[in-house]
Structure 1
Amino acid sequence: MRTAGEGSPGLDDEVVRRWESGDRTPEPRYRKHLVLVFGLTADELGLLSPTELALRPTTDSAPDTIMRDDVLDAVVRKVTSMMSGTEGEFGRKLFLKGLLGAGVVPLLAQGITLPDDVDALAGPQRTRLDHRSVDAYRAITTSHRTLYWTSPATDLLPSVAAHVRLGATMMKDAFTTDPRLPQLAAAVAEGALLAARLTFFDLAHEQTAEAFFQLAQDTVEVSRDHDLAAAVLAHRAFVPGFAQREQPARAFLDAAHAHARYATGPLLRSWLHCVDGEVSARTGQARSSVARIRSAEDALGTSGTDPAWLDFFDVSRLSGFAGNALLLAGRHHAAAERLQEALDGLAGDAERQRAVLLFDLATAQAPDDAEQAFATAHQACDVLERDYYAMALERVPAARRALTGTPYLAQLNERVRALTPA
């Protein structure tokens, strides 16, 4: 622990004796170091609770645990009808043309070059995976991740859903002992997580999102990827967390942290603390939320390597989480500073997050300067006119309350009405 920069362990013979006798379980801060000391996994050392054991990826997971074909087909059809406004024609074209075609159309439209071996995905049903098909599938998953920042959710979601459906089919047709299966499973899980994010955060279709979240959790078990498992579980915590149901949200977060003890980088650790803070804030625990943000800031100084798919969190996003936590704690001046810091550091293509930050900043500014607050909220509405994001509109009620009693409330209501889909 000293070598890792965490100071003295503070242990003595009595504490270790209680660990060995089973009278006491090592705290989380010790577990990751015990894993390294003994060269064994946390479950082999008996460090995981029954709940954590049930949720961890296993080495013998089989593709038959994946969502049933009829259920997944229904989800994909729901997505296509939801995006096109009709259940029939688009859905028939999607399946008649083949899932591969539907999955790559948006990539071609954006000028993204497909891998040379992409035709391997369109071959006959197979029982053994080959590197060409797995690499081609993973390349398209990566392209979808890139497209998220520049494509409207309504355009991207049908493509992602079709690609996920194809991947799930490939997994079910593969041997459970195939050495390439975990790689494919990780790509399918990443795609299912992206579909869940699109349906929940961007479009506010919670029921459809839940199906994709479940598929992501099913497939990540096969991947044996602890980082991705932590991300899937923590994302799932947002759903009950936003509904102010703390207990199920905490269950997902506890499982996410259990995976994070195996191997994560500083950004993923920091993001997990931020999600903890968000859940605390939404369940009325403002002080705990601010404390979680401090833990998130401390985590940035830890060691490790973050996965390539972690493109939804950076230092500016941490400032955004911090600003919202301070805002909900009633510390408006400090919140405004952190939110402005987040906006200044935000990537140019992160328009959806920009709208969220602007609404939060408007709420923070309102007690001292209602005119400036409305101007800031007006900017947020301008962003949403270009790129609709349901989660940004979730911030509007707080801005409305902050502007109550001012002449700007009616103007904000008028702008928001124009943004809300019919």
Structure 2
Amino acid sequence: MRAQGLTLTRDSHRLHAILAGVVAGFVGFTSSFAVVLTGLRAVGADPDQAASGLLVVCVTMGAGCVLFSVGTRLPVTMAWSTPGAALLAGAAVPSGGYSTVIGAFIFAGALYALTALIEPLGRGVRAIPTSLANAMLAGVLLTLCIEPFRALADEPAAILPVLLTWLILLRAARRWAVPGAFGAAVVVIVATGSLDNVSGADLVPHLSWTTPHFDVATMIAIGLPLYLVTMTSQNLPGVAVLGTFGYHAPIRPALLYTGGATVLTAPFGGYSINLSAITAALTAGPEAHPDPSRRWIAGTAMGVTYLVLGPLAPAGAAIAVAAPAGVIAAVAGVALIGTFGTAASAALADLGHREAAALTFVVAASGMAVQGIGAAFWSLLAGGLLLVVLRYRVRDPHATELQNARSAD
């Protein structure tokens, strides 16, 4: 009888771990897929190319969750780079077009893999002040987070239900606030008849190939910031989250996988995947399973959920295209408000870096572009330069003489 009770308990815990993984995968998908589509469209992808990109990142991160969770028996999970997608959403189509953006994706993927292989490169990334990296991210996110409220002034009937649903769920069930906002957006889209022109062919999963072209300016403007923001805002925090629950993240194999997957899928729109940070807490914590050695089940379930949701990418893209103006931007904006708050807080927390972080923030938010290179790159350069200037103090010769005199006395 006791053995039967223990079996039932183990089965109950296993089911709970599976449900935790499913919830983490579903929330992760619905909370930010609009950001991914918005980012890809912003840099020149057409609806088919954006849907293809969403599909391949779902498949590669889902496969990564399964492979690493099962292979290591640790809750190692992966996700698309939401900060990276936000970075794309704040960028502009380069002069060379979307094909040069694909080249920038490949460049970023190669850097992930090289970071795993070349230790000095990894140390260099870790040496970047987190305040500056967060300030760059916050500056990029600001322009996206204000979009829902700009849209509200123009289309109140379409945007208000989205914002009210988000607000209510933020208070009642925070985890479901953004999925609920997306659900409200779907209701608005259906009510306005915007889906009437969507055909069955638009919902069929397919891959769209874009031959990459490599342009130095685009690699610096998009590829390098994409690499930096993903490493500092996703991969390094992902390692830290696993560490808080007593797990040692397999960072080198994970970077080789995410880098290789990005390089191989970039022509299909796969812009970047990485170790998950936020959703990692849902699968690596005690809520997933009381036994730390069994939480890999939640990581595996999360990966399977992404693999199941991946084929829905064309439907998501079709909804985004058919939606009234501002609706999808509203969903993406509220999805990023929490990330913006975290990044802005972390950026200004260090008093020694506050002025440099503030400069980084305003330059990133300005949207400036010089020689085809966007604000994200220039913001880091400006903040880093100010940090160097503030640390360098020109010695006053009169003060030196006075100090020497006092020492002699």
TM score, norm. by length of structure 2: 0.22
TM score, norm. by length of structure 1: 0.22
More relative contact order, 1 or 2 (CA 8 Å, 6+ apart): 2
The answer to which structure has the higher helix fraction is 2
